[in-house]
A and B are shown apart, each in its own frame.
Chain A
Amino acid sequence: MNNTEKIKKSLNKRYRKEKRFRLLSLLAVLTGFACLFILLVDMIIKALPAFIQTEVKLDIHFDQEKLELAAHFEPEELQNANFRGLIKQSLQQRFPTVRKRSDKRALMRLISVDAEYQLRDKLQAEPQLLGETVPIWLLVDDDVDTYLKSDKQFGRVSQKQIAWITELEQQERFQKRFNYWFFQTGDSREPELAGILGAVMGSFYTLLVTLLLSFPIGVMAAVYLEEFAPRNRWIDLIEVNINNLAAVPSIVFGLLGLAVFINFFGVPRSAPLVGGMVLALMTLPTIIIASRSAIKAVSPSMREAALGLGASKVQVAFHHVVPLAMPGILTGTIIGLAQALGETAPLLMIGMVAFIVDIPQGVTDAATVLPVQIYLWADSPERAFVAKTAAAILVLLLFLVAMNGLAVWLRKKFERMF
């Protein structure tokens, strides 16, 4: 066997190896895709139940006596009237055989604690209902909701409760509707009442502070470094610093905020103001790096033409270079803000983990943000919060997709070649 034959014989083996290697590397790409796919599908499947809320129809008799109201009462007295009693009465009429105290309590637990406030709002809106008996759809408790959604495979409802639920179901007294509540309220201890509006507003105010601080500072720093800075060791130091800050673990920024902003300067804890300040420091490197490359891409002939017409260096920078670089700067800013929107760890350090029901009205109100809300709900023991968490994750991802989409669109639309 001469060499040519040897090589020919080995060729098949080498080609097989080539194919294997190629397949293996394709497999790696597909594994990455699969991870992303599984992650998204898992979130969507987990989130679906949160968008549907079960209600139960009860015949409520607005009995003045039962409400503990006098014959002539002031409108304010409605606030403290005994609406819970109405629900009790209605449930007792529906299930007259329930006698024991503990059973009655278990029966009441089928209905959400918020149902009495629903009744109060209804009566305040329509005072003529007083003394009438009307069928009203009320929120059910999260355990019942989970039981009905999970194909009756859920252990936190007792056998007796299951019997009652089955009876109500046979009378077709349950309905499922879209859970608009989820988008209209703040946090709550009761899963059926918890919503994400508070967290969304908190995120909005936090990002507003971040934008107002990091955008001007970042752009000005980039303009200085690209257009004015002399080449010396001080400028080198600044550049090394910016690159290093981009890689510092985010939790360290949280500790900086805690030690400097809160303990030293006395900025209020848990507020979007301090959260926005910390996130602004984190976003700065991203904005500076993106702005610098956008400014670098502006053709030198632009500068030379402006200088030739007698513009000063500051005028060249702010009248010509920055406007031309603006699409790139804005793209970088949006990407930086999208990162800040998903950031959780530093905000845990500065006390944005508090349980806050109210929707924040400004940058100094105590607030929480979307990712922290996700963290808090993921920690909650109630099963119904799993769906809420996944739903909040979907909302967060939606915002991120929208922001990144905007950034891509800006880049495509204003991309200019020099």
Chain B
Amino acid sequence: MNVSTLLVTLVALALFSYVFGKQRALSIAKHNRRRLHSIPSYYGYMTALWCGLPALLLLFLWLCFETVVIEQLLIASLPSDIQSLSSGQLSLVLNDLKLLATQDLMDSHTEPMKREAVQYLLSMQATSHSLRTILVLVLAFAGAAWGLSRVIGKTPARIWVEKVVLFFLILSSTVAILTTIGIILSLLFESHRFFGEIPPQDFLFGTKWSPQTALRSDQVGSSGSFGAIPLFLGTLLISSIAMLVAVPIGLMSAIYLSEYASPVFRSIAKPVLEILAGVPTVVYGFFAALTVAPFIRHWGETIGLDVASESALATGLVMGIMIIPFISSLSDDVISVVPQALRDGSYSLGVTQSETIRLVVIPAALPGIIGGILLAFSRAIGETMIVVMAAGLSANLTINPLETVTTVTVQIVTLLTGDQEFDSAKTLAAFALAIMLFISTLILNIIALYIVRQYREEYE
């Protein structure tokens, strides 16, 4: 049985157990309701959980460790000269064998050693599959039987079931923490390997980025240099252009919507602006690469400027458009928290509305606005698709917005989408870049959230 049939069978068995458990409880309760601790359906749930949970757990563990165990057994069966190969070559041999096994590619030319190994692999896989089915089903039946035997009046079925439910609730709430731990551990582990090959100071302060490592040691001029300064500078340049576009437009929109607009206009304009945030970034990337960049290039030529076809300006402009709604809705939120009494006090002194906004409302809301801008900035740094599609690959150390620059996220994507073995410095560099990205956005977010929270507490 394959996994999905097995799962369906398990669900069916659990349903049957529910019915049986409930029936049994009902038959106990027929003569005297007080003989049962819980409502009959809880006995059904209990039986179903006993039937399904242990079996599911076994299946899950089996699926996690099946491939590893079979691989180890296969290696142990291979001749000793193959076993003594380096881990990279060994994994090549294993992949070869697996391919032969899955695609049925063996013919008379296959070496007898390989033929034997493939036969062994196939037989182990078959054994594993049938053993898995049998054990899981046996466990399901045994669980159901045990559960049924526990359907007696004294068993506190409801309390037991609720404990299991609570356990799952707690488990779900820890997924967020597990994810964070997973991110940190995987990034740390891989970048540790990277920094084993490249010294951290070369990575952090080097000014030359060309991640080409030599395929053979005797190749010339391809030693690879991993100085990340051009990437950091490029990221900062593009994000700054984006903020220059987004902050004035977003802030002014928020002011208009919260201070001037009629309720009807506001109720239409706010969702329309938020559509800009809902457009997938790959769409902005396409827009930047095919519409805005050629337009800016053409415009630059007419006034005699030399604009690169993948200029930082075009990328930053489009990224700015994407960020407008973040700034406007975050600023809108904090501006509306400013107490009306401050405005009324200002008006009563004969101050006009725009002067009130500039001299009273904005200064009062400033911490919140700055928090919002920081959040938007961290969003700009981590943005990937726009820069992958519209910014260049060449790591120029420049702050001229008309030239091509590259960013941290672009390099992560290019380093990991090519065909590369997983233990070269080139691939591992992506993880080192990602950890820089993760740390900087994390710090920005924590500062921003802290500022916004402090600000809210001040007025609420």
Contacts and interface: CB of A to CB of B under 8 A. Distances in A.
Interface of A: 14-15, 17-18, 21-22, 24-29, 31-33, 35-36, 39, 42-43, 46, 216-218, 220-221, 223-225, 228-229, 237-238, 241-245, 247-253, 255-256, 258-260, 263, 265-266, 281, 284-285, 288, 312-314, 318, 338, 341-345, 348-349, 353, 371-372, 374-375, 378-379, 386, 389-390, 393, 396-397, 400, 404
B385 A241 contact: no
Q: How extensive is the interface on chain B, given as a class? A: 35 or more
A393 B291 CA distance: 14
5 contacts: A29-B273, A32-B273, A249-B409, A253-B183, A284-B176
Given A220-B172, A256-B186, A390-B286, A25 B252 contact: yes
Contact of A378 (B190, B255, B285, B441): B285
B282 A344 contact: yes
A375 B276 contact: no
Contact of A36 (B256, B276, B291, B431): B276
Given A22-B260, A247-B445, A284-B179, A32 B172 contact: no
A379 B438 CA distance: 28
A400 B280 contact: yes
Given A249-B441, A255-B430, A374-B283, A238 B446 contact: no
A252 B434 contact: yes
Contacts of B180: 241, 244-245
Interface of B is mostly: helix
A263 B441 contact: no
B416 A258 contact: yes
A217 B172 CA distance: 5
A406 B355 CA distance: 42
Contact of A28 (B187, B249, B412): B249
B353 A26 contact: no
Interface stretch (B47-55, B205-213, B375-383, B396-404): B375-383
B253 A247 contact: no
Contact of B176 (A216, A252, A265, A288): A288
A229 B173 contact: yes
Contact of B352 (A14, A42, A220, A345): A14
Given A243-B449, A251-B434, A32 B328 contact: yes
Interface of A is mostly: helix
Which 9 pairs, one residue from A and one from B, show the smallest C-beta to C-beta distance? A249-B382, A342-B280, A28-B252, A259-B186, A25-B256, A21-B354, A345-B384, A224-B169, A220-B172
A325 to B, nearest CB: 15
Interface in B246-271: 248-253, 255-257, 259-261, 269
Nearest to B255: A25
B283 A249 contact: no
A32 B276 contact: yes
B89 to A, nearest CB: 18
Contacts of A220: 168-169, 172-173
A224 B169 CA distance: 6
Contact of A241 (B177, B285, B289, B379): B177
Given A18-B355, A242-B176, 9 more contacts: A17-B352, A24-B252, A32-B328, A220-B173, A221-B176, A251-B382, A256-B179, A260-B186, A313-B162
Given A284-B175, A396-B283, A348 B413 contact: yes
B253 A32 contact: yes
B342 interface: no
A252 B325 CA distance: 23
B87 interface: no
Given A14-B352, A378-B285, A345 B409 contact: yes
